[in-house]
Amino acid sequence: MFIRIYSELEMLHTFEERYQYLKLNGNVGEKTFGFDRYLNQIFYNSIEWKVIRRDVIIRDNGCDLGIDGHELDSGIIIHHMNAISKHDIETRSEILLNPKYLISVSDLTHKAIHYGNENLLSKPIISRTQNDTCPWRNKQGGRYG
């Protein structure tokens, strides 16, 4: 089993490289929580989770996949880089609460990681310049012809 860790992730410098490292290609986990879903809801509302969540957001500078330039204003999700199970929650395993197994992501990045669909990722913001969409003006602001 491949265990993803933050120290390996931070060696990857681009958003795309980090996404490729984390993506699951549709393998969200071997077993869902089913009727035990209440366990993860209790966990995600616990003080211990809220403390570790805050620490991870600070470590990642509030950025998607911890990449500067991908700031997240709201809706930050702390993604477990490795699938967690009911047993992990019941025993408070290391993989559950150790920042070396966690990363800050947006909702769209989180979905893209789980489903292996790059089309879900946010598109980079295109820098605009004056008159760049005016067909009768050149880049220097002058007129054609």
Please name every residue paired with 1 in a beta bridge, in sequence order, or none if there are none: none
Residue with tokens 């990642």: 60
Q: Give the amino acid at 61.
A: N
Q: Domain-by-domain residue ranges, the chain? A: 6-120
Whole-number Å distance between alpha carbons of 109 and 83: 16
pLDDT tens across 127-138, in order? 667 777 766 655
Task: Give the separation between CA 58 and CA 61, rounded to whole angstroms.
Answer: 5
* Residue 50 burial (C-beta neighbours within 10 Å; 0-12, 13-18, 19+): exposed
49 band by pLDDT with thresholds 50, 70 and 90? very high
pLDDT 10s digits, 85-120: 888 998 999 999 999 999 999 999 999 998 877 877
Q: In sequence order, what E strands does the chain have?
A: 77-80, 102-105
State the residue for tokens 């989180």: 110
Q: DSSP E strands: which ranges in 49-129?
A: 77-80, 102-105
Phi first, then psi, for residue 83 (nearest 5°) are -55, 140
Predicted local distance difference test score (pLDDT) of residue 74 = 84
Among 9-18, 84-93, 122-131, name the one with the lowest average pLDDT. 122-131
